[in-house]
């Protein structure tokens, strides 16, 4: 089944055919992909619907000025780096962006924990969900990690993997078939009986079925979302959405994106004890986990961040 419906395709074509004259800031690189769905997973997508502001708006808010004046681009970049480095967040709140996202329900349940956005989700109380469900690619079908309750271990292969794929697919297809039967829709439709209310029939569907929503947030909260969900430790299925959004961030606010990658995604936060360990090591003192004052996990994380895995 297509990622977007024929109606959505027509809507996108109509929106992209329109042009508007404005005095508001626009970003050509983001305008290039405005409304276009960026594919994610097997049936999902992310697309930018609207945005407000740009890098200059962040700078303007920080300076509380009315125009660009004679400032140099390097000064704007330097100020944004300073704001990011020192976690001055308010100027980043002056920019906003709105996404249309199609995602599996279990990913949406993780995503909704970020409560700093405006969300309007497709309602299965009023509409019938499509027969679209997520099935992982073979390289992402992994066993439960024994060391991390939230992580994955070795990839399943052979008969074991086939059995799991069959269960996932069969369960989803069976659930949707029963969903249609309860609604009295599709091939099982019987004119002589009345279907179950949609708000009740939906509870039979599994968490890998797709939903859709509009998600609007400001730039500061988008960066917080990406710092957690684009991280290598995040679950793959939400991380790929964050990766797609990271690409839109780079198009929209390139100075902010670069500062974010440098001072947030590529940075390391040290505790007071961790900093003390680094200072002792720099002074030439031999330091081990036993005399560091750090737990084994803290020590392992510190050594990993320093490129000295234990």
Q: Kindly report, residue by residue over 271-290, the tens digit of the pLDDT.
A: 999 999 999 999 999 999 99
Exactly one of 198, 202, 229, 251 is catalytic; which is it? 229
Q: Residue 68: pLDDT above 60?
A: no
Strand-pair partners of 3: none
The rounded percent of the chain whose pLDDT value lies above 90 is 71
Mean pLDDT of 289-306: 93
Burial class (CB in 10 A: 0-12, 13-18, 19+), 268: exposed
Q: Which tops the pLDDT comparison, 279 or 233?
A: 279
Instruction: Label residue 191 by pLDDT band (50, 70, 90).
Output: confident
Range with the lowest mean pLDDT among 12-21, 27-36, 128-137, 257-266? Answer: 12-21
Active site residue 229: yes
> How is 124-181 classified by DSSP, letter by letter?
TTTSPPPS-B----GGG-EEEPSS-TT-EEEEP-HHHHHHHHHHHHHHHHHHHHHHHH
Q: Does residue 152 register a pLDDT over 70?
A: no
pTM, two decimals, is 0.90
State how beta strands 152-155 and 142-144 pair: antiparallel
Q: Give the residue carrying structure tokens 């439709």.
A: 189
- Rounded to whole angstroms, what are the CA distances from 264 to 82, 87, 275, 295? 12, 10, 18, 24
pLDDT at 186 over 60: yes
Q: Using one digit for the tens of pLDDT, what is the confidence trace for 33-63?
A: 999 999 999 999 999 999 999 999 999 999 8
**DSSP letter string, 58-111:** HHHHHHT-SS-TT--HHHHHHHHHHHHHTT--GGGGG-EEEEEEEEEHHHHHHH
């Amino acid at each position: 089944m297509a990622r977007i419906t024929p109606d959505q395709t027509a809507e996108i074509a109509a929106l992209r055919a329109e042009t508007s004259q404005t005095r508001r800031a626009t970003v050509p690189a983001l305008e290039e992909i405005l409304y276009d769905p960026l594919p994610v997973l097997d049936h999902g997508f992310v697309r930018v619907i609207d945005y407000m502001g740009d890098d200059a708006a962040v700078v303007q808010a920080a300076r509380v000025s009315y125009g660009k004046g004679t400032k140099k681009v390097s000064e704007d970049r330097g100020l944004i780096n300073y704001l990011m480095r020192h976690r001055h967040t308010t100027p980043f709140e002056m920019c906003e962006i709105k996404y249309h996202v199609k995602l599996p329900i279990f990913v949406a349940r993780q995503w909704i924990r970020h409560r700093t956005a405006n969300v309007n989700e497709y309602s299965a109380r009023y509409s019938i969900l499509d027969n679209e469900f997520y099935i992982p690619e073979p390289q992402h079908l992994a066993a439960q990690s024994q060391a991390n309750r939230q992580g994955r271990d070795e990839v399943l292969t052979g008969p074991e993997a086939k059995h799991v794929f069959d269960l996932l697919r069969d369960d989803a297809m069976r659930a949707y078939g029963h969903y249609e039967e309860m609604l009295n829709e599709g091939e099982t439709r019987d004119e002589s009986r009345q279907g179950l209310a949609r708000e009740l029939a939906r509870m039979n569907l599994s968490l890998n079925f797709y939903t859709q929503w509009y998600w609007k947030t400001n730039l500061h909260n988008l960066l917080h979302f990406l710092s957690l969900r684009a991280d290598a430790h995040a679950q793959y299925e939400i991380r790929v959405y964050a990766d797609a959004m990271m690409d839109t961030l780079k198009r929209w606010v390139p100075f902010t994106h670069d500062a974010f990658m440098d001072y947030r995604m590529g940075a390391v936060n040290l505790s007071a004890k961790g900093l003390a360990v680094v200072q002792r090591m720099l002074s030439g003192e031999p330091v081990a986990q036993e005399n560091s004052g750090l737990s084994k996990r803290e020590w392992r994380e510190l050594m990993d961040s320093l490129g000295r895995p234990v």
